[in-house]
Amino acid sequence: MIINGKKFAQNLKNNIKREIKFLKIKKKIVPGLTVILIGNNTPSEIYVRNKEISAQEVGINSKVLRFKNSITEKKLISIIHNLNNDKKVHGILVQLPLPQHINGSKIVEEINPNKDVDGFHPINVGNLSSGKDSLVPCTPLGCYLMIKSIKKDLTGLNALIIGRSNLNGKPMAQLLLKENCTVTISHSKTRNLKELCKKADIVFAAVGKPNFVKGNWVKKGSIVIDVGINRINHKNGYKIVGDVDFKSVVKKAKAITPVPGGVGPVTIACLLSNTLKAFKNN
C-alpha cells in the first residue's frame, strides 16, 4: 500500500475545518497562528506560503511577520514576548533556519510552551519524553498518525528510527515507545544498520541521504515511513527523492510513504492540528 499523504492530510484538514467552523459559531473566536520569517531563504518562503494557504483553508487566522536578516536577537525576543501576550495568537512558529547571529535554542525557549506549535520548547520535549500530553513536532506527529492508520495496535513491534535529530528521530522514538514498540534509534555511527533494518516492523527514515534505505534491507510486510526530502540531478534539471529507495522497497513493504506526496503534506496538516490544540489548551 502506498500511503497517499495528500489525501491523508486533506482528511485531517477537513476535520480541523469542521471543528473551527463550530468554534467560530459557538465561541465567536478562531485559532490564530503567527509565523515569523527572517531573511529571504527561498525554501523557507515556500514552506511559509504553504503553511499560510493551508491555515486559511481551515479557517485559522494566520499571519506572517517578515523581518530582514539584520534583525537583532533582542528585537526578535521582544516580538515573541508580544505574541506570547497576545490573546488572539494561539500558535507561534519561528521558521528555521535562522541567521547565524541568532541563537535558535534561545529563541525557542522564549516562546510560551502553550503556543509552541512546532513542539520544540524544552517543556514540550520533556513532557513528550515523560509520556505526558504535549505539543509534538509536526513531522513525527504526522508519521505517527499515518502508522496508526495502518495498524492500530503497535504493541511489541520492532521500530527502527534512522536519524536522531531533535526535529524528527527523537520525538518519533518517544511516540512509538509510548505505543509499546521496541525502539532502536540509529545514527551515523551505528554498526550493521542493514541487519537492524531487516528486523524492523516499522522503519522511519530521517537521514537526509537520497535513496539510502534499500529493498534488501527491509523485512517483508514492514511499514516504511520516508521523511527525507533530497534534491538530485535529473535529466530535466532536478527531482525530489526521499531517504528510501522507493522502487525496491515498495516491493517488500506492507505500507510506504512516497516522496513527494507522503510525509510533507501531512506535516503541514499537523501544524494546523497543533494550532487547534494550542487554542483549546489556552
Which residues between 183 and 202 bind ligand NAP (CB under 6 A)? 186-190, 193
Going by the DSSP 8-state scheme, the letter that residue 116 receives in this structure is B
Alpha-helical segments (H) within the chain: 5-27, 42-58, 73-85, 104-110, 122-129, 138-150, 169-178, 193-198, 246-249, 263-281
Stretch that binds ligand NAP, among 59-67, 107-115, 153-161, 205-213 (CB under 6 A): 205-213
Q: For residue 174, which amino acid is it?
A: Q
Cβ–Cβ under 8 Å, residues 117 and 84? no
27 is catalytic: no
> Is position 4 an interface residue for ligand NAP (rule: CB under 6 A)?
no
95 is catalytic: yes
201 is catalytic: no
**Cα–Cα distance measured from residue 15 to residue 145, given in angstroms and rounded to the nearest whole number:** 14
Residues in the interface with ligand NAP (CB under 6 A) total: 25
Catalytic annotation, pick one of 13, 115, 118, 174:
118
CA 239 to chain CA centroid, Å, is: 22
> Is position 228 an interface residue for ligand NAP (rule: CB under 6 A)?
yes
Nearer to ligand NAP, 30 or 259 (CB): 259
Cβ–Cβ under 8 Å, residues 20 and 58? yes
Stretch that binds ligand NAP, among 15-23, 26-34, 50-58, 259-267 (CB under 6 A): 259-267
Residues in the chain: 282
Catalytic annotation, pick one of 51, 170, 219, 277:
51
Stretch that binds ligand NAP, among 67-75, 114-122, 174-182, 224-232 (CB under 6 A): 224-232
Residues facing residue 185 across a β-bridge? 161
The site map against ligand NAP for 119-158 (x = CB under 6 A) is --------------------x-------------------
Stretch that binds ligand NAP, among 60-68, 95-103, 107-115, 206-214 (CB under 6 A): 206-214
Going by the DSSP 8-state scheme, the letter that residue 96 receives in this structure is S
Candidate list 77, 196, 229, 250; residue touching ligand NAP; CB under 6 A = 229
Q: Which H or E run includes 158?
A: strand 158-162
**Cα–Cα distance measured from residue 27 to residue 186, given in angstroms and rounded to the nearest whole number:** 46
Q: For residue 195, which amino acid is it?
A: E
Active site residues: 51, 95, 118
Per CB under 6 A, residues contacting ligand NAP are 139, 162-165, 167-169, 186-190, 193, 206-209, 227-230, 263-264, 267
